[in-house]
C-alpha cells in the first residue's frame, strides 16, 4: 500500500470517494513529501547540471536546487513541531529562504514561501487548499524575478499549477491533483525549447524547469508507492548515486 494511501478511514468522509483516495495533507505527510521530492531531485543532480545552458552554462542548477532542498530537509528533521501543517509549511519556507543557493534555489524558496502563505494557519489541507497554495507559490515565483522570461521554471510552474487548480474544482483526491500537476509540467517542460532560443540551439530543456518536474515527480512516486532512491539527506554532504547509476524575498533574474 502506498505510504500516503490511508487518508480515508472514516465513513463520514466517503461521499462516494475511492477507498484509497488521499483527501488531506497534514504536517507529517508534508514532511514525507518534501523528503521524497528531495531524494528524487538529488538522484538527478548531475543530469540537471549538464542541462544548464540558460542564461549561462555554469552547470550548477542541480547542485543549487539540491543544496536548497537539503537545507529544508535538515530543518524539518531537526524541528519539534509535531504534525501541524501550518508550522511545517512555515519551517519549509523559512529554511528554503535561508538555505537557498543560486537563482534556481531562490526561485524554489519563493515557491515554498508562496505555498506556506496559501496554507496559512490550516492544520490540514484538502485538494482545493493545496491547489490554492500552489497558485500562491506560482505568484511568489514570478514576483521574485525582475524580468520573468517564459520557457523557464516559471512557465512550467504556472502551466502545471493552472491545470492542477482546474482539476481541484471537481476532484478531491490529492494524488490525482499531483498527477495532473506532474503531467502538465512535463508537457510544459518539453515545450521550453520552443520558447527559449538558447535551449533550442543546445537541444535541451530548461534545467530549472526540469528540477521542478523532479520535485513534483518525487511526491508523485511517494503517493503511488513507486520506488525512490536511498539517499541520506540529513547529513552535511548527502550521498547520492553517481551519474548513470539507476536510482535505488529578493528579486532575481531567471538564471539558474
Say which residue the cell 536548497 belongs to: 68
pLDDT band at 60 (very low <50, low <70, confident <90, very high): confident
d(CA 160, CA 211): 14
Question: Sign of the CA dihedral 194, 205, 151, 136?
Answer: positive
Tell me how far CA of residue 66 lies from CA of 2, 148, 242, in angstroms: 25, 23, 14
Q: What is the pLDDT of residues 75-108, one digit of tens each?
A: 999 867 778 999 999 999 999 999 999 989 999 9
Considering the domain 24-223 in this protein, what is its CATH number?
1.25.40.340
Q: With 0-12 CB in 10 A as exposed, 13-18 as middle and 19+ as buried, what is 160?
A: buried
List own/partner pairs for 56-61 with CB under 8 A and 24 or more apart: 56/255, 58/256, 60/102, 60/256, 61/102, 61/104, 61/207, 61/208, 61/211, 61/256
Q: Taking a C-beta distance cutoff of 8 angstroms, is the pair 206, 54 a contact?
A: yes
What's the mean pLDDT in 170-195?
98
Burial of residue 58, with CB atoms counted within 10 A of its CB: 0-12 exposed, 13-18 middle, 19 or more buried: middle
Question: Whole-angstrom Cα distance, residue 238 to residue 254?
Answer: 27
Residue 255 clears pLDDT 70, i.e. is over it: no
The grid coordinates of residue 180 equal 495532473
Distance CA 198, CA 78 (A): 41
Q: What CA–CA distance (Å, rounded) separates 139 from 74?
A: 26
3-class secondary structure, 175: helix
**Pick from 110-114, 121-125, 176-180, 243-247: least confident:** 243-247
- The answer to whether 71 and 99 are in contact (CB under 8 A) is yes
Q: Mean of the per-residue pLDDT values for the chain?
A: 85
- Please choose, from the candidates 152, 77, 172, the residue with its C-alpha nearest in 3D space to the C-alpha of residue 111: 152
How large is the average pLDDT for residues 132-136?
A: 98
Are the C-beta atoms of 42 and 233 separated by less than 8 Å? yes
Q: Helices 127-143 and 174-195 sit at what angle, rounded to 10 degrees? A: 30
pLDDT of 31 > 70? The answer is: yes
Amino acid at each position: 500500500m502506498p505510504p500516503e494511501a490511508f487518508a480515508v478511514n472514516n465513513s463520514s468522509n466517503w461521499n462516494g470517494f475511492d477507498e484509497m483516495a488521499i483527501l488531506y495533507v497534514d504536517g507529517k505527510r508534508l514532511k514525507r513529501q518534501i523528503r521524497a521530492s528531495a531524494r528524487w531531485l538529488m538522484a538527478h543532480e548531475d543530469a540537471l547540471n549538464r542541462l544548464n545552458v540558460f542564461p549561462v552554462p555554469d552547470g550548477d542548477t542541480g547542485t543549487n536546487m539540491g543544496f536548497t532542498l537539503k537545507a529544508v530537509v535538515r530543518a524539518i528533521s531537526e524541528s519539534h513541531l509535531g504534525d501541524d501543517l501550518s508550522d511545517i509549511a512555515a519551517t519549509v519556507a523559512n529554511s528554503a529562504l535561508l538555505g537557498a543557493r543560486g537563482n534556481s534555489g531562490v526561485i524554489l524558496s519563493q515557491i515554498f514561501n508562496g505555498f506556506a502563505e496559501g496554507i496559512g494557519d490550516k492544520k490540514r489541507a484538502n485538494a482545493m487548499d493545496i491547489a490554492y497554495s500552489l497558485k500562491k507559490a506560482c505568484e511568489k515565483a514570478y514576483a521574485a524575478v525582475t524580468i520573468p522570461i517564459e520557457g523557464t521554471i516559471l512557465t512550467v510552474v504556472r502551466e502545471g499549477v493552472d491545470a492542477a487548480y482546474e482539476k481541484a474544482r471537481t476532484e478531491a483526491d490529492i494524488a490525482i491533483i499531483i498527477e495532473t500537476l506532474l503531467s502538465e509540467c512535463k508537457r510544459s517542460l518539453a515545450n521550453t525549447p520552443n520558447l527559449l532560443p538558447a535551449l533550442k540551439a543546445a537541444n535541451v530543456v530548461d534545467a530549472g524547469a526540469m528540477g521542478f518536474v523532479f520535485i513534483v515527480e518525487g511526491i508523485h512516486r511517494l503517493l503511488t508507492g513507486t520506488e525512490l532512491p536511498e539517499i541520506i539527506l540529513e547529513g552535511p554532504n548527502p550521498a547520492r548515486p553517481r551519474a548513470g547509476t539507476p536510482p535505488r524575498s529578493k528579486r532575481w533574474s531567471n538564471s539558474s
